[in-house]
């Protein structure tokens, strides 16, 4: 296989992996992100002739468009890399849990990530003939049609995934981000975004093909075939938008649904001490940015130290809740009582040693995240909170 194709394939896998950062974890996200940027730099070095030819050839409308896409892609990748380094907590250590001087880099990083993803997808569509020629230099007519059919089916699935992931709102930093741990497998998440990538590439390829065949004197049959394929995709987009509008756009009327129907999952050990169960209560419906879930802690279980950009409200429904601010007061809350933690206040919460506790957690997504996890609460810190609560 051509070294460029191998490099670009690896870069695509790394990008899809890095996008699942809330599933794979912070350090894995940083490692895959840096590796993807390194391969992106190699890709540009290997294609240096494109830069050298920028001032040499005559520009057409298509070439202006292609140049603009490539330039925006380089710019978004640069912003993605710089903002990622500034917000790094594990590899570069420029941001710490206690003091993140580059807090705004998170929003910029999230925005650049989704734009880079879209522009890479469009870039693939622009150069699809070249890429396909490298992968399958001697494909038969049957194989060519089979590949087109597979791409069309994947693109149709990508329409559904695009609506489910609410990709459009992510490109303008106005979206309800996925719950901080959905229980979804990383491969499922990556496959979903892969279908979106195929859909965007597929659409770009056939838009350009239509424009090209319009100008061709021999393109009447090709034009009819291309138009038919593109019409199918357009119809699918329209149908998908209609079917997904209730879940992805602002509702026009009240919605009544059963609470707690989301898949429950165990609180990850890296974020909790002891046994914890999380039960999402309701789906996020735009334009709301709230994330709501039941969280049940076994006796003595507690969260890590953490904070929330949008603050947090806890409604205790069973047991006794313990909570404490970093170097601050500790409190106990009983069923029917509400704990409110202001934005960016480092704290923990969990059950007392006497028995399990359940609370409703309400947090708000700000710029694509709703929680910043920090170090575990030690046994001594937990016991100190208990002594403070008991007035000892």
Q: Is 327 left (phi over 0), alpha (psi -120 to 50) or beta?
A: left
Both structure tokens of 287: 């334009």
Cβ–Cβ under 8 Å, residues 78 and 70: no
**CA angle 15–19–22, rounded 5-degree value:** 145
Q: What is the pLDDT of residue 233?
A: 47
Per residue in 176-203, pLDDT tens?
Answer: 334 334 456 778 888 889 999 999 888 8
Cβ–Cβ under 8 Å, residues 107 and 367: yes
Instruction: Give the mean pLDDT of 61-70.
Output: 83
Per residue in 101-142, pLDDT tens?
Answer: 444 566 788 888 889 999 999 898 888 877 776 666 666 778
Residue 210 pLDDT > 90, yes or no?
A: no
Both structure tokens of 390: 């008991």
Domains of the chain: 3-248 (no CATH), 265-389 (2.60.120.10)
């Amino acid at each position: 296989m051509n070294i460029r194709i191998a490099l670009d394939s690896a870069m695509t896998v790394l990008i899809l992996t890095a996008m699942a950062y809330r599933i794979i974890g912070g350090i894995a996200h940083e490692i895959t992100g840096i590796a993807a940027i390194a391969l992106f730099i190699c890709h540009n070095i290997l294609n240096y002739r494109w830069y050298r030819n920028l001032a040499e050839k005559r520009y057409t409308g298509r070439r202006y468009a292609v140049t603009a896409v490539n330039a925006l892609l380089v710019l978004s990748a640069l912003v993605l890399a710089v903002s990622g380094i500034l917000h790094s907590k594990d590899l570069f250590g420029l941001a710490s849990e206690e003091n993140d001087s580059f807090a705004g880099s998170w929003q910029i990083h999230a925005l650049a990530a989704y734009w880079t993803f879209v522009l890479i997808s469009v870039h693939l569509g622009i150069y699809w003939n070249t890429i396909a020629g490298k992968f399958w230099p001697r494909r038969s007519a049957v194989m060519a049609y089979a590949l087109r059919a597979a791409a069309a089916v994947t693109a149709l699935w990508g329409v559904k995934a695009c609506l489910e992931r609410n990709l459009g709102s992510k490109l303008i930093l106005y979206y309800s981000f996925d719950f901080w741990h959905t229980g979804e497998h990383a491969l499922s998440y990556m496959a979903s975004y892969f279908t979106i990538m195929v859909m965007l590439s597929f659409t770009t390829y056939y838009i350009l093909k239509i424009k090209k065949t319009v100008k061709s004197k021999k393109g009447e049959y090709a034009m009819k075939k291309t138009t038919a394929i593109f019409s199918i995709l357009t119809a699918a987009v329209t149908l998908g938008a209609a079917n997904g509008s209730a879940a992805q756009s602002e509702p026009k009327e009240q919605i009544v649904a059963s609470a707690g129907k989301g898949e429950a999952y165990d609180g990850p050990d890296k974020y909790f001490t002891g046994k914890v169960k999380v039960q999402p209560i309701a789906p996020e419906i735009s334009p709301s940015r709230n994330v709501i879930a039941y969280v049940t802690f076994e006796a003595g279980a507690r969260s890590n130290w953490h904070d929330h950009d949008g603050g947090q409200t806890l409604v205790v429904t069973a047991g006794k809740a313990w909570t404490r601010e970093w170097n601050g007061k500790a409190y106990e809350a009983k069923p029917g009582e509400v704990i409110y933690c202001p934005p960016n206040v480092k704290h923990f919460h969990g059950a007392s040693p006497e028995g399990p506790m359940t609370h409703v957690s309400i947090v708000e997504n700000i710029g694509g995240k709703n929680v910043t996890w920090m170090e575990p609460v030690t046994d001594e810190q937990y016991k100190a909170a208990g002594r403070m609560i008991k007035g000892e």
